[in-house]
Amino acid sequence: MFGLAFTFWSPVVPATAQTDRLVNPGSSWAGPWHAAVGLADRLGDSTGPADVLEAAESEIALGRPMQAIAILSAYALPDSLFDGAPLALRAAALYLLGEYEEAGELFDGAAVFATGLRQGILLTRAAEASEQAGLRELAAERYRIAASAVPAARGWLAIRRARLTDDIAQAFELLRVVPEAGTALAGEVRVFMLAAAGDTAGAVEAMVALGRPGDAGILAFAAGDRIAARRLVYRAIEMRDEDQALQGVAAAVEHFPATNIEEHLAIARAVSRYGRAADALPHVAAAVVAGDSSVETLLFYGQTMETSGNRPDALEVYAVAAAGVGDQVGEASYRWARTLLRLRHREAAFAALGEFLTERPDHDRAAAALFLMADLRQDQGRVRESDSLFRLLNGRWPASEFASTARSRLAGRALARQDTERALELFRLEMENDGSRSRFAQFQLARLTLESGDTAAAREQWIDLAERDSIGYYGTIAREAAGMPPAVFAVPPPHTSSPEVIHQLEVLDLLEASSLEAEATALVAHLSDRDRWEVTDLLDVAEGLIARGRAREAVGIGWVVAGLHQLNDPRVLRVIFPWPNRALVEREAHEFDLDPYLMAAMIRQESVFDPDATSRAGARGMMQLMPATARGLARQLRLDWDNTFLGVADANLHLGAAHLAAMLRQYDGELVPALAAYNAGASRVRRWLRYPEARDWVLFIERIPFPETRGYVQTLLRNRAVYSALYSEPPVP
């Protein structure tokens, strides 16, 4: 969101550029939304040029180019001011409006007043705008001139120049200087040039070599080779690469409709794999109609129906599959019973699950079936029957995930009726089986030990858990229960990155400042490749990406490094739990009287600090706000609001902080129900607060019926402790 500031005010993006403004050294940059709001009332006849430029820049960052142009037009600023800043900002506004030719001329004009890398960046912006305008020769010449000013990006600009020439020999010569990270992009240019020269076979072969059979199939189809095109399209459909698979599906549907069972199923599996069950349904149906009555295909058919929301028909399909033959008949019987339960045919489902267990006591789904029976009886309030089934599950399959949940339920009810001995027995059993809830069991064992009067033993158990689960949720609450001081990680001492990492990150700055998005993406992928770097270099890369607002990619690198190195290294943890935009987060936390570590924890979980993050449900931005929620909050705060601002970091943080503060007020400052409501909604939390476990937040969290929400609350509590431990700024050792 702050790329314009980087482009026009500094030659290379500094690590602190997200918070340190170079437009007006005497002011502090609070983000484009805050700046626009704050400057709107200050603009007048006596306004200084720096404030005028900052106001225009803020409007551009907010996606309001017309307002930026109006501001610049109202003040007769010299074109040469701040190395051509007025021209560059006007160019950026025109670019957003699609006026690419004029934008290119203005970028070029601004470059006259700049020097060095800044001049090269502006020339590159001029070239890219000319390319967008279709002025190929002019764009190529501007890229050539820009390469002289930014030699570090020469190989990347060569890709652009090669794409713009009609001379295949010249193009291939230009591509000789492309860096390794640009190999795939250079390959695309080679494909284009071969195709333009009439060498379709060579172009198809080159595209296949790039690992893109879907694109190769489209090329072959355009050249009239339908046989090769069909083969390549269906090869793409089988790939695990989402873009290629779905591109293959689109090409198949449009040009090469499935003609047999195998092709229908291939398309169905591809689209189903990427969450498009409704698109998969007609293809599975076609396979069944064509004669595929195998249990495997019927199971796929039923699952696709169920995922598409058609459970009644899925139930019928599962019934047919259950009447078939083969190893998967048992799976069909289980799904039929489970679907009955989901359709609220409770007694029929209970009977079907019981029949499944009787006929297939050793089936992989047996533990799941018994758990569903017990869970159903619990929901019906038939607690004694439920407990009996949970005990049976615990006895038959003590090592299963379902047995862990059963022991947790039984122990919770034992505590509710003050049957301490039974609860202790169940918690010990969970630890002996090393179940998924063994850490919860250890925490509760320590609690019961404390209640029995043995304070020292309880504290010893909690300390052991805190050490074994040092950055986990249960370790976090154990540390607090033991009265241990909050964890603190020393600030990593300053160090110097390797020259190669420094160089590559500087090139990334140039590409991003020049709006060469495809090239920047390719370089980030190259930088994130674990096989190319030593562990220390990977950490340097990750820290550099965090400083440049690419925390999501950095976190992925951090987990790789944790596997190669060690998780509890403070540098590794700061990569896995990054804090870009820290000043903005702390500003909003202070305004709404929130814990800044809690806000950082929430943003890490919601979006990994990605302002462009969008969920499938439509939640947007760093704090994943739904548009309707944002509009309501803006009305309450009396803000002039546009939902396009949800993608602007400081605007999203402002409303997100307001929303979190409102949740906390609603629950009298109690964090656990507030976090649960932020994730699952207030109406559900009202219902959950009726549970007897609501008197004890630890037990209440375990009782939350939605695994997603339960994990969300636990993760945020853990994250908050980790952020506090990492960023409370202890002295460097």
Q: How many angstroms separate the most distant Cα atoms in the chain?
A: 87
Q: Is the same domain home to 17 and 105?
A: yes
Choose the final residue of a domain: 215, 241, 269: 215
**Spatial separation of the C-alpha atoms in residues 320 and 622, rounded to whole Å:** 47
Q: Which residues in the chain land under pLDDT 50? A: 1-28, 731-733
For position 150, which CATH number holds? 1.25.40.10
Q: If we measure between CA atoms, which residue out of 581, 573, 532 comes closest to residue 554?
A: 573
Q: Is the same domain home to 537 and 647?
A: no
**Residue 690 DSSP SS3:** coil
**Spatial separation of the C-alpha atoms in residues 109 and 97, rounded to whole Å:** 19
Q: Is the same domain home to 550 and 594?
A: no
Reported for 613-619, long-range contacts at CB under 8 A and 24+ positions apart, including other chains, are 616/275
Catalytic site residue from 606, 670, 708, 729: 606
**Spatial separation of the C-alpha atoms in residues 171 and 532, rounded to whole Å:** 28
In a domain, 536, yes or no: yes
Q: Is the same domain home to 625 and 714?
A: yes
In a domain, 599, yes or no: yes
CB 184 within 8 A of CB 210: yes
In a domain, 596, yes or no: yes
Q: If we measure between CA atoms, which residue out of 238, 48, 179 comes closest to residue 520?
A: 179
For position 721, which CATH number holds? 1.10.530.10
**Residue 730 confidence (pLDDT):** 56
Q: Is the same domain home to 145 and 55?
A: yes
In a domain, 471, yes or no: no
**Residue 19 confidence (pLDDT):** 26
In a domain, 96, yes or no: yes
Q: Is the same domain home to 134 and 31?
A: yes
Name the phi and psi angles at 103, rounded to 5. Answer: -60, -40
Reported for 390-395, long-range contacts at CB under 8 A and 24+ positions apart, including other chains, are 393/367, 394/429
In a domain, 377, yes or no: no
Q: Is the same domain home to 567 and 589?
A: no
Reported for 563-566, long-range contacts at CB under 8 A and 24+ positions apart, including other chains, are 564/530, 564/535, 564/538, 565/535
Q: If we measure between CA atoms, which residue out of 62, 15, 17, 50 comes closest to residue 647?
A: 62
Would you tell me the crossing angle of helices 438-451 and 473-481 to the nearest 10 degrees?
A: 10
In a domain, 262, yes or no: no
CB 113 within 8 A of CB 79: yes
What residues does 625 pair with on adjacent strands?
Answer: 620
**Residue 30 confidence (pLDDT):** 66
What is the separation, in whole angstroms, between the first and last Cα of the chain?
36
Q: Could you give the angle at the alpha carbon of 331 between the alpha carbons of 325 and 332, nearest 5°?
A: 65
What is the enclosing helix (H) or strand (E) of 595?
A: none
In a domain, 70, yes or no: yes
| 606 carries an active-site annotation | yes
**Residue 495 confidence (pLDDT):** 85
Single-letter code of the amino acid located at 689? L
Q: Is the same domain home to 642 and 594?
A: yes
Q: If we measure between CA atoms, which residue out of 204, 218, 731 comes closest to residue 491?
A: 731
**Spatial separation of the C-alpha atoms in residues 206 and 252, rounded to whole Å:** 21
Alpha helices (runs of H) in 535-595, residue ranges in sequence order: 535-547, 551-564, 570-576, 582-591
Q: If we measure between CA atoms, which residue out of 500, 503, 521 comes closest to residue 512?
A: 521
Choose the final residue of a domain: 215, 242, 270: 215
**Residue 528 confidence (pLDDT):** 93
Q: Is the same domain home to 532 and 602?
A: no
Q: Is the same domain home to 528 and 596?
A: no
Structural domain harbouring 646: 582-727
Q: Is the same domain home to 541 and 624?
A: no
Choose the final residue of a domain: 576, 597, 612: 576
Q: What are the Cα distances from residue 8, in Å, to 5, 331, 469, 702? A: 6, 62, 47, 52
Got the DSSP string for 351-400? Answer: HHHHHHHHH-TTSTTHHHHHHHHHHHHHHTT-HHHHHHHHHHHHHH-TTS
CB 516 within 8 A of CB 7: no
Burial of 708 (0-12, 13-18, 19+ CB in 10 A): exposed
Q: Is 98 left (phi over 0), alpha (psi -120 to 50) or beta?
A: left
- The number of domains in the chain is 3
Q: Is the same domain home to 613 and 550?
A: no
Q: What are the Cα distances from residue 148, in Å, to 126, 365, 371, 509? A: 15, 66, 69, 17
**Spatial separation of the C-alpha atoms in residues 705 and 725, rounded to whole Å:** 30
